[in-house]
Structures are given as C-alpha cells and as structure tokens.
Amino acid sequence: MLKGKNIILGVTGGIAVYKAADLVSKLVKQHANVEVIMTEGATKFVTPLTFQTMSQNKVHTEMFGLVSHFDVEHISLAQKADIILIAPATANTIGKIANGLADNLLTTVVMASKAKIIYAPAMNTDMYNNLIFQENMNKLKTLGHKFIKTGVGRLACGDFGAGKMAEPLEIVDYVINSFVKKDFVNKKVVITAGPTIEPIDPVRYITNHSSGKMGYSLAQEAKNRGAEVILISGPTHLRPPDGVEIINIKTTSEMFEAVGKHFDDCDILIKSAAPSDYKPINASPIKIKKGSSDEDNLEIKLVKNPDIAEYYGKYKKEQIMVGFAAETNNVIEYANKKLKKKNFDFIVANDVTKPGAGFKNDTNIATFIDNKGNIEKHPLMEKTQLSTLILDKIYDIIDIKAR
C-alpha cells in the first residue's frame, strides 16, 4: 500500500526506540522506502545497524559527516520525503521543531521539507501534560503537523498515564491513511466477509475455506477512504480494522438478518462472504453417535439457506451492490448468471482453482463484470490492491449516477 512512497523516519532518544525497529519492518512490508535519521540520543538506545538492517538503507546520524558522494544531505532527504514520521518523538525534539531550532540532522530536515510531518510522541505522563509541551504540540498542530494519539498505560519509568507511544501497527495504519483519498466520506458501506458455519450437531458443522481476508481488506480500504463501515463477519482469525463496526455471525440465516438491519440506509453492499448455500434440515441437539442409524453410512439431509444477495437485490433502491463469484469452471458464464440473478451492479469473479487466487491467500486474481456488459480482467495482485480497484470502480459508478 506504500509502494513508491519515501518515508523519512526520525528516531529520537526514548525507550520506545525499540518499537521503532518493528515499525520500520512493518513499513517495509507495505513496500515503503524507509530512510532512518537517528538523533544522538536515539543511538544510545539502539545501534544504527539495527535500523540499517531493517530498512536496507543507510542510516543517517550525522549532520556534518564526510560523505562518499556529494549532495547536501539534509536538502536531498527533505526533498525526497513524501512523509516525515518521527517515532518515538520526544518532548525535546518536538520543542525544538516548534521553536524553529535546527541543530541536528533531523530537525534540519524537518525545517527544510515541505512534506507532511507526523509525530508519534512518547514520554513520561508529567512531561506529556506539561503546559510547555502542550503549547508546543498545539502550535505545530496549527501549522498542519499531525500527532498520533499516545496510549494510556504503564510507562517505562513505572508511572501510569498518557504518553505511551502508539503501537507500530497503529502508526502504519495512520501513515497509510494519510496517503489515501477520502472519497467515501458520508457513505455507509456494508461488507460481508468470511465463511458461515451450519451446525450438524453441537460438535460438528458444515463450512468452507473462506478466511475472511478479502472482506477484511475491503473493510480496511473503505474505512481508510472515509466510509462508515459495517463488517458482517463469519468466524475468522482476523483482527477487524480499527474504527469499523463488526457484527459477528455464525450461520447464513444470521448473516441474512444482520444485512437486513443495515440494508435500507446503506449506500453500498459488498458481498465478499462465502455463505453456506445449504444447512442440515434438523441440527441434532445432542452429539450424533457413531452407528446411530447405520454402521457405515450417515445421511444428513440439507435444506437451502436464504440467498442473501438475491433477496436484497430485489429490494434495492439507490444501493450499489457488488457481488463475488467463487468458481472452479466456466467462470465468466457462471459469474454473469449470478450478476443478473442477484441484481449486482458488478461482480468480482475469482477462479478459486488458480494458484494465488480465491480462498486463504493474501492475493487474488479477479475479473470484474458489470451490468453494462463490460469485462475487466486483472492479473494476480495483493487483496489490498484488489480492494483499492473494487472501491475505485464503485466510486466511478457513484460518480456516473451523480452526473
């Protein structure tokens, strides 16, 4: 999600420096190019070698060091930065920047840069609450600098209170968010994700291979772009994105009810879940014992579950509905039939037999088919990238309708 982005990470001297190494690793995983500038204080906690290894880039520490090739380092760093992220940001560094001091490489780069500046402060609670620090922070906020909220908890000094640096995952989310366009503000998006499970008896059930990754990734993308997101999820092992409303369900009938509660006032419904089409006609209230009907065979009669998309597709008014089709053969033909039968605006067809596509993977291979007959084939890509394309396509539909 951060491909092609240059992030200058300023690391200042506080015990939370150890978390900054994890932060670099997480930013690099998002394909960002990370260049680390450490203040002298930071190098007392962790060596530059740690950050060099994690970022795969030279770590900058000195303002007046001799260089192997000539460029004015603080100017070239300042110019190439898309974002300057300072984490952990001490009261000292924040104070210097707020008061126009440029006495080390980091504060000089900040002074020389037009990039967005983001701080993840980390300090003792009394320092955090000190009016001098609060004034410095507010001054920078009025200049457009951004501050990631500190956590409340037990600090390294033993005190309990505000001033704990935000977790690396939160910081990465914040950074990703600051690059994303906010084109879904005031839109309510309902997303279904994951499998459903249909009980056979209290210990057994019917389910499928859906991990929820596709739906959770869509929820994250919609949230990042400013939408109000309701994520209706079958059982998964995933952590829901921060700031989305999660509704946990187990069965297709429960998913049907949950969609019903939000359908009338939603703008967009994305059906990425893999609901079970059938369920046992009578789930046994007690564990079915071996040989209870016939020693070698056990027959379980199934009955059809409601087709959620088909049902709400009949009632939709202004809502945009996006479906998925998980197919193993005749992909386009079957997806097209589902598109029409369920009244989707477009359908995302994935051939789940292809390596890297469909269930469980972090990647997918998709073809979009819309209700005007347009077909767009996409190559293998991360589910996060595919989510961006799906939201882009929805945005185009909204845009066309608004004209």
Q: 277: closest CA among 302, 314, 250? A: 302
Task: Report the site for ligand PMT in 169-198 (rule: CB under 6 A).
Answer: 194
Supply the minimum distance, in Å, between the C-beta of residue 28 and ligand PMT. Answer: 24
Strands (E), 220-319: 228-233, 245-248, 268-271, 278-280, 302-304
Supply the minimum distance, in Å, between the C-beta of residue 282 and ligand PMT. Answer: 19
SS3 of 212-257: the string is CHHHHHHHHHHHHCCCEEEEEECCCCCCCCCCCEEEECCCHHHHHH
DSSP secondary structure code for residue 227 in this structure: -
Nearer to ligand PMT, 61 or 364 (CB): 364
Catalytic site residues? 157
Compute how many residues bind ligand PMT; rule: CB under 6 A.
Answer: 28
Q: 360: closest CA among 240, 249, 238? A: 238
Phi, psi of 316 (to 5 degrees): -65, 145
Which residue among 33, 113, 220, 252 contacts ligand PMT (CB under 6 A)? 252
76: which 2 tokens?
Answer: 């070239």
Nearer to ligand PMT, 104 or 276 (CB): 276
Cβ(85)–Cβ(5) under 8 Å? no
Compute the chain's Rg from CA coordinates. Answer: 26
Paired strand residues for 323: 271, 347
148: which 2 tokens?
Answer: 């990631």
Which residue among 12, 210, 233, 367 contacts ligand PMT (CB under 6 A)? 210
Nearer to ligand PMT, 179 or 311 (CB): 311
Nearer to ligand PMT, 48 or 306 (CB): 306
What does the angle CA 73 – CA 67 – CA 77 come to, to the nearest 5 degrees?
Answer: 15
348: which 2 tokens?
Answer: 């995302």
Which residue among 19, 74, 164, 213 contacts ligand PMT (CB under 6 A)? 213
Cα–Cα distances in angstroms (integers) from residue 264 to residues 37, 187, 190, 222, 268, in the given order: 51, 13, 11, 19, 10
Q: Should residue 307 be labelled a site residue for ligand PMT when binding is judged by CB under 6 A?
A: yes
Q: Give the Cα separation of 115 and 111 in Å (integer).
A: 10
Q: Give the Cα separation of 311 and 342 in Å (integer).
A: 8
Nearer to ligand PMT, 85 or 214 (CB): 214
Task: Report the site for ligand PMT in 267-296 (rule: CB under 6 A).
Answer: 271-275, 277
N-to-C CA span, the chain:
30
Kindly indicate which of the ranges 118-126, 136-144, 206-214, 261-269 contains the residues binding ligand PMT, using the contact rule CB under 6 A.
206-214
139: which 2 tokens?
Answer: 């001054």
Supply the minimum distance, in Å, between the C-beta of residue 113 and ligand PMT. Answer: 39
Q: Should residue 254 be labelled a site residue for ligand PMT when binding is judged by CB under 6 A?
A: no
Q: Should residue 360 be labelled a site residue for ligand PMT when binding is judged by CB under 6 A?
A: yes
Site map 334..353 versus ligand PMT, x via CB under 6 A:
----x---x-------x-x-
Which residue among 13, 121, 163, 358 contacts ligand PMT (CB under 6 A)? 358
Supply the minimum distance, in Å, between the C-beta of residue 336 and ligand PMT. Answer: 12
Q: Give the Cα separation of 253 and 369 in Å (integer).
A: 28
Q: Give the Cα separation of 125 and 68 in Å (integer).
A: 43
Which residue among 52, 316, 359, 378 contacts ligand PMT (CB under 6 A)? 359
Q: Should residue 155 be labelled a site residue for ligand PMT when binding is judged by CB under 6 A?
A: no
Which residue among 37, 249, 326, 331 contacts ligand PMT (CB under 6 A)? 326
Count of other CB atoms within 10 angstroms of residue 76: 12
Which residue among 214, 266, 320, 365 contacts ligand PMT (CB under 6 A)? 214
Q: Should residue 324 be labelled a site residue for ligand PMT when binding is judged by CB under 6 A?
A: yes
Supply the minimum distance, in Å, between the C-beta of residue 11 and ligand PMT. Answer: 35
User: Which residues are near ligand PMT by CB under 6 A?
Assistant: 194, 210-214, 252, 271-275, 277, 305, 307-309, 323-326, 338, 342, 350, 352, 358-360
